[in-house]
Structure 1
Amino acid sequence: MPGAPTRAGSETTAAARRPGMERRGRVRRVMHAPWFEGVLVVLIVVSSILAVVEVNGGLSSGPALLVRIAGDAISGIFLGELAVRCWTYRLRSRFFGRYWLDILASLPFPSGFEALRILRLLRVLRLLRLGTLLRRRFTGGSGGDFALLLVTTLIVVLLGASISALFEHKLNREHDSLGYSFWWSVFSMIAGEPMDGVPRTLTGRLISLVLAMSGLCVFAVVTGAAAALMTQRLRRLEVHSMDMEELEDHIVICGWDRRAPLVIEELQHSTEEKERAIVIVAELEELPPLNWKIVNRDRVYLLNGDFTKAETLERAGIRRASKAIIMSDKTGNRSDQDRDARTILAALTIEKLNHGIYTCAELLNREHEAHLRMAGVEDVACVSEYGATMMSSMAIHSGISSIIGELLSVQYGNEFFKVDLPASLEGKSFREAMERLIPRNAITIAVERPMGGKRREMALNPEPAFLLQRGDRLVVIARARPDLTGI
């Protein structure tokens, strides 16, 4: 058909986009790292303190200049951080829709304009980012909600103290002191009425009204949160479409059964996959209980829908995903034949939408494997067969189950690793590769060889004289990924 994209063209386009996606993914992971968020927290607190001190004045020219320079320097750091964060977003409109307040709060305001002094208080609004960061760190319960409430209350108190000191000090000398204005704001919020009488300026009266109403809201929110904490054991994991649309290089799990939590735990324990986001596509209203001590809640998303439908997979970002796992879905009352049919349909749809994705699928009946292979699925597993062969192996070779269990799990002991063939081993024999890797605490057991396109052939325990060639990958058993530098 003229003008229709070919499979090769789609693969070329996907390959061309992959480096940029990987770079954005690495930068995004750094910006979500605990140490990076810790630095942001410190800068936010320091910047907010400097903003309040700068607005209220009372400093001589030397210290005032240092405060202004420090505030502008931190604003420059925040603008740089926001610029990098903007680059990681595919849709710039979504970035500005989410961070417009942070941009406004980070803009440096020129000195010498008395009317603009009040605008410097916008820097205090960066404390809202502090609330977001704290909420991310305390996602296991209501701690994040209380942290956000605490930060919001602090913002209201600081703004109330700064504005009251800025406008009231001319008619009320007590407000010359920033400390007095701060405690006046605190007690006005708690009491629900202005302390030490009604303010003398219109602005002061408006601020006292805002503080009184904020105190009532805080009391209501705390009471409601405490009641919810007593009755709610599990919080529903919400997925926002905006977050989903920004995911890249992630893993999509289609279907759900009792083994799915273990799959998620294994993926997040893997050094290669632990930083990837995981999107679960299943007909579930809410995510079943997971071990949140092991699983990173920030990296797990639930999308309620039918994974055999293209529009549902599009919402899961399947075009930008790096891997797809199709499990034999047991959420509905379906026969084994229907489950395999849904697996095949999902595989065909996934490969059609993203030719470059790596897909592995589970079947209940091995007879249907040919359909998945024709669709382009790289790996097919018939778990029931594996269970039967393991039981017979246990009967024949007692104690072998512990070895198999350790090798298949990434959470402890030895595991399988695939490593690229070093240039020094090209044209060498399999035996020489084994001897070279033994000092690196790695046992070579197989060779994976590309056969064109996405097809690869696995040679398990080949002959010692088997010659290695460029493009091969070695499959090894080791406790950690071996370093083949200088081998």
Structure 2
Amino acid sequence: MSPPRPFARVTALIDVPLIRRLTWHARRIAASLDRRFFLSLMAGILVCVAVAALAITIFDGPVTLEKFGDSFNWSIATVFGQGDATFVKSPGGFIVNWLLILFGVAMLGTITGALVALVIDFLLKEGQGMGASGYRDHIVVCGWNSTARDLIAELKGDDYHRKLVIVHDAERNPGGAGTYYVRGDPSDVAELERAGIRDAAAAVVCPTDDSNEADMRDILVVMAIKSIAPRVRTVAEVNNPRHAAHMREAHADEVLVTSVLASHLLARSALYPGLTDLVTDIVSGGAGSELYRIRIPDEFAGLTVDEASARLRREHRATLLAVGHEGQTETNPPADFCLSIGDDALVVAESLGRLAPLRIETGEADQADDRAAAPMVPARAP
């Protein structure tokens, strides 16, 4: 049963990234405060007010418990700027009144300064990558290299509507505007928590350089991600092909060896001219068509691949390349292969149109945006 509308509105407000970010900073500041100091400060303020009330009671009289209560209430109101100036009658009472007014002004200035300091601290921490993203259903990019730079540029395109968070140890945000930056070691669970990895839709792990040590660090990153967010889809780039198996053993969902991919493409292009341009146009959308992974419409169940391909082409101007069935990707499936409910497909199309993109399976899957076109990544090797 859905919550009542007022509660739903409150829940939606709390779930706003900025509110979640402010809450995280508030918890961080609260954890660093000395509570005993503030308790002592409050006790000191109450003692000062009580002494002032006692002085007023003695100076103005009569010295009764009722008069002390009225004086105590007046002293508190005076500190907050709401005291009645006609309450005191004696010269000593006027002096106490002035002292309370000065005390109230000093306290107001202190509180204002503290609030300004908190705002400055928030802005500085956010600018230095020391905050928390507060996002849900976003993409976390761990590490930074030329691949990550092109990836960010691609994900900022019109077809993608997910927030981007970069986790990298650098002084400035390498992704620029439109991305949230978390400065730190992506293999550190605490830094991943600040990036909101538990609520992420996917994570992309990129090596910081082309060394074997970078691959080893990325294996640790994948292990850290899977240790706290096992259902987050994780895609990893690997420098050395020999490390791909280790990356899969760390439970990376997709592993991309860019050097192997580039060498195969160069070899095929040497034999078949124009292949490089074709693949580049399809992957980058340069010719107006993009790769999409979609959910097969239920009415396609029972159709053969040829029949489904013809309908996709006729009704959606989409070309079928592969079919996902029971967790396996069938590239160029046989003609007698029949589609089932729950299958997905890899297609080339100018846009999704009325086709539904494949939902990224995460712990927050039911919150995923069905209208967001998920980028297609290479299928996991069998």
User: What TM-score do you get using the length of structure 2 for normalisation?
Assistant: 0.60
Who is 1:443 aligned against?
319
Who is 1:282 aligned against?
168
Q: Please say if 1:434 is aligned against 2:313.
A: no
Provide the C-alpha distance between the structure 2 equivalents of 1:88 and 1:289, rounded to a whole number of angstroms: 25
Provide the C-alpha distance between the structure 2 equivalents of 1:321 and 1:410, rounded to a whole number of angstroms: 26
Q: Please say if 1:403 is aligned against 2:274.
A: no
Provide the C-alpha distance between the structure 1 equivalents of 2:234 and 2:242, rounded to a whole number of angstroms: 19
- Gap runs ≥5 in structure 2: 27-124, 357-382
Who is 1:262 aligned against?
150
Q: Which amino acid aligns with 2:242?
A: E
Who is 1:474 aligned against?
345
After superposition, the Cα gap between the structure-2 partners of 1:301 and 1:435, relative to the gap in structure 1 and judged at 3 Å, is same
Q: Please say if 1:238 is aligned against 2:127.
A: yes
Q: How does 1:246-257 map to 2 (within 5 A)?
A: 246-257=134-145
After superposition, the Cα gap between the structure-2 partners of 1:287 and 1:411, relative to the gap in structure 1 and judged at 3 Å, is farther
Provide the C-alpha distance between the structure 1 equivalents of 2:175 and 2:221, rounded to a whole number of angstroms: 26
Which of 213, 218, 231 is the equivalent residue of 1:338?
213
Q: Please say if 1:314 is aligned against 2:221.
A: no
Q: Which amino acid aligns with 2:152?
A: I
Q: Which amino acid aligns with 1:326?
A: V
Which of 251, 255, 268 is the equivalent residue of 1:393?
268
Provide the C-alpha distance between the structure 1 equivalents of 2:290 and 2:20, rounded to a whole number of angstroms: 42
After superposition, the Cα gap between the structure-2 partners of 1:338 and 1:85, relative to the gap in structure 1 and judged at 3 Å, is same
Q: How does 1:85-100 map to 2 (within 5 A)?
A: 86-89=13-16, 94=22
Provide the C-alpha distance between the structure 2 equivalents of 1:399 and 1:311, rounded to a whole number of angstroms: 47
After superposition, the Cα gap between the structure-2 partners of 1:284 and 1:477, relative to the gap in structure 1 and judged at 3 Å, is same
User: What value does the CA root-mean-square deviation take over the aligned residues?
Assistant: 3.3
**Percent identical across equivalent pairs?**
27
Higher-Rg structure is 2
Aligned-pair CA distance for 1:351? 1.0
Q: Secondary structure at the match of 2:198?
A: coil
Provide the C-alpha distance between the structure 2 equivalents of 1:461 and 1:324, rounded to a whole number of angstroms: 28
Q: Is the 8 A contact 2:237 2:255 kept in 1?
A: yes
Aligned-pair CA distance for 1:94? 4.2
Q: Is the 8 A contact 1:447 1:474 kept in 2?
A: yes
Provide the C-alpha distance between the structure 2 equivalents of 1:300 and 1:412, rounded to a whole number of angstroms: 27
Aligned-pair CA distance for 1:477? 0.7
Q: Is the 8 A contact 2:129 2:181 kept in 1?
A: no
Q: How does 1:189-204 map to 2 (within 5 A)?
A: none
Q: Is the 8 A contact 1:266 1:410 kept in 2?
A: no
Q: Please say if 1:420 is aligned against 2:282.
A: no
Q: Is the 8 A contact 2:129 2:183 kept in 1?
A: no
Q: Is the 8 A contact 1:336 1:364 kept in 2?
A: yes
Provide the C-alpha distance between the structure 2 equivalents of 1:238 and 1:257, rounded to a whole number of angstroms: 21
Who is 2:331 aligned against?
460
Which of 354, 361, 364 is the equivalent residue of 2:236?
361
Which of 176, 199, 203 is the equivalent residue of 1:324?
203
Q: Is the 8 A contact 2:244 2:257 kept in 1?
A: no
Q: Please say if 1:304 is aligned against 2:183.
A: yes
- Gap runs ≥5 in structure 1: 1-18, 21-78, 99-235, 291-296, 451-455
Provide the C-alpha distance between the structure 2 equivalents of 1:433 and 1:405, rounded to a whole number of angstroms: 26
Q: Which amino acid aligns with 1:238?
A: G
Q: Which amino acid aligns with 1:86?
A: L
Provide the C-alpha distance between the structure 2 equivalents of 1:289 and 1:375, rounded to a whole number of angstroms: 27
Q: Is the 8 A contact 2:136 2:200 kept in 1?
A: yes
Q: How does 1:136-155 map to 2 (within 5 A)?
A: none
Aligned-pair CA distance for 1:438? 1.1
Aligned-pair CA distance for 1:308? 1.2
After superposition, the Cα gap between the structure-2 partners of 1:469 and 1:328, relative to the gap in structure 1 and judged at 3 Å, is same
Task: State the Cα deviation string for residues 210-231 of structure 1 (Å, max 9, x = none).
Answer: xxxxxxxxxxxxxxxxxxxxxx
Aligned-pair CA distance for 1:83? 5.0
Task: State the Cα deviation string for residues 303-333 of structure 1 (Å, max 9, x = none).
Answer: 2211111122112111111110000112xxx
Task: State the Cα deviation string for residues 324-350 of structure 1 (Å, max 9, x = none).
Answer: 0000112xxxx7221111111111110
Who is 1:26 aligned against?
none
Who is 1:350 aligned against?
225
Provide the C-alpha distance between the structure 2 equivalents of 1:237 and 1:92, rounded to a whole number of angstroms: 13
Q: Which amino acid aligns with 2:127?
A: E
Task: State the Cα deviation string for residues 376-395 of structure 1 (Å, max 9, x = none).
Answer: 21110000111111211221
After superposition, the Cα gap between the structure-2 partners of 1:265 and 1:412, relative to the gap in structure 1 and judged at 3 Å, is farther
Provide the C-alpha distance between the structure 2 equivalents of 1:389 and 1:399, rounded to a whole number of angstroms: 14
Provide the C-alpha distance between the structure 1 equivalents of 2:139 and 2:352, rounded to a whole number of angstroms: 21
Aligned-pair CA distance for 1:414? 0.8
Who is 1:195 aligned against?
none
Q: Secondary structure at the match of 1:259?
A: helix
Q: Which amino acid aligns with 1:474?
A: A
Q: Is the 8 A contact 1:266 1:411 kept in 2?
A: no
Aligned-pair CA distance for 1:246? 1.8
Q: Is the 8 A contact 2:296 2:345 kept in 1?
A: yes
Task: State the Cα deviation string for residues 75-97 of structure 1 (Å, max 9, x = none).
Answer: xxxx99x9576243487894799
Provide the C-alpha distance between the structure 2 equivalents of 1:470 and 1:434, rounded to a whole number of angstroms: 16
Aligned-pair CA distance for 1:482? 4.0
Q: Which amino acid aligns with 2:199?
A: R
> Whose RCO is larger (CA < 8 A, sep 6+)?
2
Who is 1:233 aligned against?
none
Q: Is the 8 A contact 2:21 2:134 kept in 1?
A: no
After superposition, the Cα gap between the structure-2 partners of 1:289 and 1:358, relative to the gap in structure 1 and judged at 3 Å, is closer
